Structure 1
Amino acid sequence: MGTPNFAVPILEELIKQNYKIKAVVTQPDKKVGRKQVLQETPVKKVALAHKLPVYQPVRLSRSEELDELINLHADLIVTAAYGQFLPTKFLNSVKIAAVNVHGSLLPKYRGGAPIQYSLLNGDARTGITIMEMVKEMDAGDIYAQKAIDILPEDTSGTLFEKLSLLGRDLLLETLPGIINKTIKKQAQDESKVVFSPNISKEQERITIDMTANEANNLIRALNPDPGAYLELAGKRFKVWKAEVAEDSTSLEPGSLVANDHRLAISFAQNTVLNLLEVQPAGKKRMDIKNFLNGQGGKLVPGEKIVD
């Protein structure tokens, strides 16, 4: 059970290791882009390529598909970023265990956006948890965990790729022990639970009460999707890449510090952020040199340009 690219290596390796896949469950196809082209999920594409049965219920609970899946009486459910709750009667229908590959070191970051929150909060490390699925979200006992460092240049995109492969490898290491019941599960420490709900529209905006470091963390967390933005001269201005400048400024937050060889904006606590890759409203993504050669060159240093 999975939907995005994160889940693809996991499904592919299960197939490669000759696990018998009775069904693949993924979210419904979605219309994307300006032309609203109907697009299959990455997991569905892999399943169809291997001629596996695919289920795409809009809502798994109380669906006809759920009854069919329960009647398969599978040994295992393996879930990786599926995107829906699994009913208890489905979890209980398997002979061995329902297992989830989760992109954080639980109990930190239960919920739908653990990778984004690890960047948003400036964490030094993140990782993968292989856990037993229970009715409560991401609250099951832990089978195994593995951590990796978060690098300064990491974004959600790069962490998704790294954790996808880490999750694949850790799951395949762990599954034999789950099947023969030699792995001892560990209960999560409820006193250390942190939640990571899906990113809201309001969270996408970079505000001038942030420090440059906080703004940069948000930019990294929302790259490649959906992207963080500034309100620059009253228009939405996406920032895809930035860096915290070494210098400080006495200008009020939201002011243009420099627009010669760099585009530098002041933030809270006298901090400065250099914008490196941007996307003005109605334009394509561009590096800062191209922006400064165009409309960015008309901005006046010292003026407040961010609302």
Structure 2
Amino acid sequence: MPHKCLFMGTPSLAVSTLKALLDSSHSVLGVVAQPDRPGGRGMKIQSPPTIQLAKKHGLPTFQPENLKDPLFLQTLRTMAPDVIVVAAYGKFIPQVILDLPPKGCINVHPSLLPKYRGAAPINWAIINNDSETGVTTMIVTPKMDAGPLLKQRKTPILPEDTTEILGNRLANIGAELLIETLDELSAGRLHPTPQDESQVILAPPLKKEDGHIDWKKSAPLIIKHIYGMTPWPGAFSFLAGREGVDKIRLKIYSAFRVSGASEVPKPREGTQAVGHKSSNTPGQILNLLPHGIEVASGQGAIILTEVQPEGKRRMDARDFLNGHPVTIGMRFE
């Protein structure tokens, strides 16, 4: 028998799950999301993407500041959902709500639990250079991401996956997995499995300062750092200029590894590459190329291809070089 569902989710990554639920045999009684917040370039008040979608479908919407608000709780009791579906809601859900639906609260979490419990599982899977990740459906409990597992699905992490790219793919996987989970629960074919606490790895929230690149790390790990920090909080470094010239804060969006001398292109006209030496200082600019900036790392070198100076637009490294007096030997810090 199809379930009567209440959906709790806020950002764009939750939209795929809500769409899949709306297209399924299960009914959606309403949508709960975070309150409207300022957003965009003009910082205008905006409704969450899930609320916008819910209104297009004529669904009741709720955006309480406090989930324990008595009127809100009474409304949920009156609606009497069989199950509450949670996808990136953004707050801990109190026990009084967890106890409400007879089939429990089901969370769609973008990692292979118990690995990467927490707010930033997609970022950390990329930053840590994992070869794969996935999505888990689980029963929500008071402890963060610690509830019994229902279903999981894996996906490889591709070389150029940023948090945004991988997040979109996981959102689509999660949407499919949720419907399978609900269908199998309806048929009585699914039984929760406790998580192995000995395998827990946490994925704490990222701060802006976490984006700062450590050039002493190896080239592959720096590239994964860049992609794991994109789009937020953003990987960055400071380019130390000549004496008397302020440092430039540079966001870095894309790069690739230089695996060997045979792969290094010819330098830009009028420049001379430093060359690959074990004595190169991590962060030192080794070469200015037609399509990027070659930088030494703790092991190997990388070529920066897309950057953004503070206060400026995002641009190709070539355009940055055309507008800034960068020279070989300068250092990123």
The TM tier, using the shorter chain, reads: over 0.9
**SS of 1:259 mapped into structure 2:** strand
Deviation per CA, 1:78-125, whole angstroms, max 9, x where unpaired?
A: 011111111112111102121011100000001111111100100000
| Structure 2 residue aligned with 1:5 | 12
Question: Are 1:183 and 2:196 an aligned pair?
Answer: no
| Contact 1:59–1:84 (8 Å) recurs in 2 | no
Provide runs of 4+ in structure 1 moved above 4 Å. none
Shift of 1:294: 2.1
5+ residue gaps, structure 2: 1-7, 241-246, 261-275
Partner amino acid, structure 1, of 2:332: V
Q: For residues 200 and 61 of structure 1, what CA distance do their matches in structure 2 show?
A: 29
d(CA) in 2 for partners of 1:95, 1:85: 19
Q: Distance in 2 between matches of 1:96 and 1:252?
A: 59
CA distances 1:112-152 after superposition (whole Å, capped 9, x unpaired): 11111100100000001011111111111111101011110
Letter in 1 for 2:251: K
Aligned residue-pair number: 303
Q: Is the 8 A contact 2:285 2:295 kept in 1?
A: yes
Distance 2:185 2:249 in 1: 49
Residues 21-45 of structure 1 show CA distances to partners (whole Å, capped at 9, x for unaligned) of 1220111112124421112211111
SS in 1 for 2:332: coil
Partner of 1:302: 329
What letter matches 2:177 in structure 1?
L
Instruction: For 1:299, give the aligned amino acid.
Output: V
Secondary structure of 1:58's aligned partner? coil
Q: Which residue identity is paired with 2:312?
A: K
Q: Is 2:237 the partner of 1:237?
A: no
Contact 1:132/1:142, CA 8 A, preserved across alignment = yes
Please, what is the CA RMSD of the aligned residues? 1.6
Measure how far apart 1:180 and its partner are. 3.6
Unaligned runs of 5+ residues in structure 1 are none
| TM-score between the two structures when normalised by the length of structure 1 | 0.94
The answer (yes or no) to whether the contact 2:206–2:233 under 8 Å persists in 1 is no
What residue is the counterpart of 1:268 in the other structure? 298
Judge conservation of contact 1:96–1:179 (CA < 8 Å) in 2: no
CA distance in 1, matches of 2:286, 2:92: 48
Q: Does residue 41 of structure 1 match 2:48?
A: yes
Calculate the TM-score normalised by the size of structure 2. 0.87
Taking only the aligned residue pairs, the percentage that are identical comes to 38
Counterpart Cα distance in 1 of 2:44 and 2:82: 37
Question: Residue 316 of structure 2 is aligned with which of 280, 287, 295?
Answer: 287
CA distance in 1, matches of 2:130, 2:106: 26
Task: Please give the alpha-carbon distance, in whole angstroms, between the structure 1 residues aligned to 2:239 and 2:328.
Answer: 14
The structure number with the bigger radius of gyration is 2
Is 1:246 the counterpart of 2:255? The answer is no
